Amino acid sequence: DVKVTQSSRYLVKRTGEKVFLECVQDMDHENMFWYRQDPGLGLRLIYFSYDVKMKEKGDIPEGYSVSREKKERFSLILESASTNQTSMYLCASSFPASSTDTQYFGPGTRLTVL
């Protein structure tokens, strides 16, 4: 059974703080993703990674960075948190196949920036 965990379920930070969100998967998946989920906007891709030390920008990378030093761990970093980054953040992982890509999601981190 695939397990994707995220470091916190709820997080409250102040504007300007540096924020780290961590995601760990235990199934040796190559692919890892970070999304933010906002009402009416669905899941928007922030960054993704196909391999260790590799990263690619998604649709909304501004204000975020990522780190993938180990295969099982993908970190999302908010260098200087702002109130418009208040959101639900979801991590996902998948094992690459030639024609399908089932993503397994973590439980989410609800981040509030005051």
Partner 1 sequence: GENVEQHPSTLSVQEGDSAVIKCTYSDSASNYFPWYKQELGKRPQLIIDIRSNVGEKKDQRIAVTLNKTAKHFSLHITETQPEDSAVYFCAASINTGGFKTIFGAGTRLFVKA
State the residues that interact with partner 1 by CB under 8 A. Answer: 30-31, 33, 35, 40-45, 48, 50, 56, 58-59, 90, 94, 96, 98-103, 105-108
Q: Output the CA torsion 21→113→65→75 (10° steps).
A: 0
Vertex 9, ends 8 and 12: CA angle to 5°?
Answer: 80
**Minimum distance from residue 17 beta carbon to partner 1 (Å):** 26
Nearer to partner 1 by Cβ, of 16 and 96: the residue is: 96
| Nearest distance, CB of residue 45 and partner 1, angstroms | 7
Give the shortest CB-13-to-partner 1 separation in angstroms: 22
| 87: helix, strand or coil | strand
CB 41, min distance to partner 1, A = 6
Beta bridge partners of 24: 5, 73
Neighbour-count burial of 13, counting CB atoms closer than 10 A to its CB (0-12 exposed, 13-18 middle, 19+ buried): middle
Nearer to partner 1 (CB atom), residue 29 or residue 81: 29
Closer by beta carbon to partner 1, 39 or else 84 = 39
Give whichever of 48 and 78 is closer to partner 1, judged by the CB atom.
Answer: 48
- CB atoms < 10 A from the CB of 11, how many? 17
